[in-house]
Structure 1
């Protein structure tokens, strides 16, 4: 059925390219291919599931409803315009204007966007209530058999473009639609790695409990995969996988790949789209000499996030640290501190926060260096000068307020 769905898609949009990446292939001594879903018309794979689910109920159904603040909304909007049907898309009030604009651009006059609630859950309830009242067709972003079948078209194209089944596939997991579709199509024909963000390990939790469970609250940084509860239908297809094939990646670590792919390869990836590539290092011993496909699931990246992404990447790599210094209020104290810095230690932030006592002031300092080994030596020099400080680099709670 996935093959038929893929054939039906071709008049609507072309197959996304499967490209061998020379940089990654050399690094991991393997043939590493990227399935470039970031090059689809809506810069993600989501339009596949939307297309397949909608084509099966048209023309009997002409009203489609969904709740989404991202790629699913854009995929549904694109398909509403293509099929000439009405779509009502519910989004949180807090959705960035860029995502609203792109959804409206893809859907044109065929869609209506309703902003409801501060969080996705409120938008979802509103969408489902409206859909029931109006007799529309609700389009789930992942927990729908027709959506799963549509996402499986990624696997169909991989086999067609590669001329066979790869040895190893690495793919991101959020609600499970993409991974369930690909896993169902290739079955035991290859080895898999399923990648989740550390802040939203819904698949790992479901496998541990034997059923989908809510892992709220989730870290929403990897917005394309930050799902609190994997779908019931998707988990039914994935429940037999080996838990050891699941890889959890720290959100800051994922930023490292986003920056490298942008600077070196000129590829723009969203956090979820970079996860499979970053996970290569976790399976380096398994993939030597193998044919490996990484699913670059999306490239809807808001460049206003780039400073944050760079910051996270540097912190993960150990190239940037933040600390609060207790600076004596005496002549020459600042000069004494500056003398502790090495030739490649650069101050990127210096901010008096408050005077905690008459003779001392609290200063927030950010230091960037070229190799992480510089920091132990720098802190040793600071200690030798008798300064008091607190390293807050990895204190996420405090960092949210002061960094």
Structure 2
């Protein structure tokens, strides 16, 4: 343990060649909302807008100290890890080969190229990440490169633990509670190991996306397991299998300290922080804030730190985020209505809408009978209770309809 603590501190000192400690900021809005003293460790404010630069820099520095002749570093990533590796390659003056899926958004490719400059080569291979990863490892063997794992690497874990070193140095005393986002486990395992020695009195909570609970599955099974399905919306934490090395540090976590953030609710947290605080967070970066709703009673009156792990958000996704948030808050619903095919039928339906109801979508799907047609309707409103009133009026009018808002199968093909 002593070696880990000293190496985490050494990693933190070495990072000062790249950037100052990320801010630890008290958030008045969240503190008032939850009647607690809530602070944000702003990992979204590193040079690459995520904590991933810490592990990439530490691992690369360690390898080069051990073998100065190592010239090629390889990784497979479609996001923050790629950007951290690219930045570190340029810093150390080594060559980086970064493999990305063909489907990677151009914005992420461009940012990786900007951070790496002439030091990196980007290869777009594979429609799915597993194919990309296999190609990266094959190339690594052929070229004699060093493969940099995004999380399942001892040097990477030490680098991510530098967050804990900074955090405790920035506070007069350790917080009562620390909330950590979990994907592959690099950040959470590094911080957990550091806190277990240096701040054992702090209560740690872990939060995963509801559609990718790899830590919870591993704790239940007693070993890492691969999830059958992962919701990719929280792309910074949507990991099908937690790392072997990271799980060794997390296997003792109590199941009730592993929280699940619904993807649609995360969207609400993202919009809240953007609109009220001017803080841009990616879905994974907002998870530690989102789960405060689940801990409302536990955190009251306590000092709580949330690690906001990243802010690489593509604003082209903002309409989707808003849509998912509205659906979670039940301010927007979709339903299929069986509409009579007669003059005045549409007017009769419009008269059933309340003063705060707005049609966001109206589309004839097909005629289900000679005298009726199926219509897809999206309604936005200002108060969730308005929908109960609307449905009551539809029932009273004898109209047949089906609410498909929560039907994932139907929504996937229609909405």
Residue 356 of structure 1 deviates from its aligned partner by: 2.2
1:53 partner SS: helix
Equivalences for residues 184-203 of structure 1 within 5 A: 184-187=193-196, 188-203=200-215
Match of 2:258 among 238, 243, 246: 246
CA distance in 2 between partners of 1:48 and 1:274 (Å) = 19
Equivalences for residues 3-402 of structure 1 within 5 A: 3-58=9-64, 59-187=68-196, 188-402=200-414
Structure 1: tracts of 5 or more residues without a match: none
Greater shift after overlay, 251-260 or 285-294? 285-294
1:319-351 deviation digits (Å, cap 9, x = unpaired):
000001111100111111111111101111111
Structure 2: tracts of 5 or more residues without a match: 1-6
Residue 358 of structure 1 deviates from its aligned partner by: 2.0
Residue 235 of structure 1 deviates from its aligned partner by: 0.2
1:293 partner SS: strand
CA distance in 1 between partners of 2:80 and 2:148 (Å) = 13
CA distance in 1 between partners of 2:49 and 2:408 (Å) = 31
Cα RMSD (Å): 0.8
CA distance in 1 between partners of 2:221 and 2:227 (Å) = 12
CA distance in 1 between partners of 2:407 and 2:218 (Å) = 29
Q: Which runs of 4+ in 1 moved over 2 A?
A: none
Residue of structure 1 in register with 2:4 after alignment = none
CA distance in 1 between partners of 2:115 and 2:368 (Å) = 54
CA distance in 1 between partners of 2:180 and 2:192 (Å) = 10
CA distance in 1 between partners of 2:228 and 2:45 (Å) = 32
CA distance in 2 between partners of 1:378 and 1:353 (Å) = 22
Does the Cα contact within 8 Å between 1:165 and 1:186 map onto a contact in 2? Answer: no
CA distance in 2 between partners of 1:9 and 1:108 (Å) = 20
Residue 60 of structure 1 deviates from its aligned partner by: 3.0
CA distance in 1 between partners of 2:284 and 2:191 (Å) = 17
CA distance in 2 between partners of 1:249 and 1:299 (Å) = 18
1:189 partner SS: coil
CA distance in 2 between partners of 1:155 and 1:279 (Å) = 20
Residue 62 of structure 1 deviates from its aligned partner by: 1.4
Does the Cα contact within 8 Å between 1:257 and 1:277 map onto a contact in 2? Answer: yes
Residue 192 of structure 1 deviates from its aligned partner by: 1.0
